[in-house]
Amino acid sequence: MTDTPGPETDASRFNKAKDYVNDKYTAASDAAKNQYNRVREKLEDVDFGAITDQVRSYVRSNPGKALLISVGVGFLIGLLLRRDDNED
């Protein structure tokens, strides 16, 4: 008899690989769900009304800075979102 791999060893390797990938998928999925739940809980604790009031107060007390910050942020977003005209 020769030691050539038969269908049983191929099936066994396939099942081992399938189990490995399934385990990794499950671990990654669980980690993503846990992270999502942590972020969701943190967002539930944030008082957006208070943040809005703080921003309004800052803008009223520092209108020049607020304007420059908003222009800078708009410029950066424009750079990130602009299309390259050299693409054909």
pLDDT at residue 5, rounded to an integer: 57
Q: Tell me, what's the pLDDT at 30?
A: 96
> What is the C-alpha to C-alpha distance for residues 30 and 34, in angstroms, rounded to an integer?
6
pTM listed for this prediction: 0.47
Q: Where are the domains of the chain?
A: 17-81
Q: Residue 1 has what pLDDT?
A: 45
Name every residue whose Cβ is closer than 8 Å to that of residue 66 and which is 6 or more positions away in sequence.
58, 59
Tokens read off for 76:
């950066």
pLDDT in tens, the chain (88 residues): 445 555 668 889 999 999 999 999 999 999 999 999 999 999 898 899 999 999 999 999 999 999 999 999 999 999 999 876 665 5
Q: How far apart are the first and last CA of the chain?
A: 62
> CA 62, CA 82: separation in Å to the nearest integer?
30
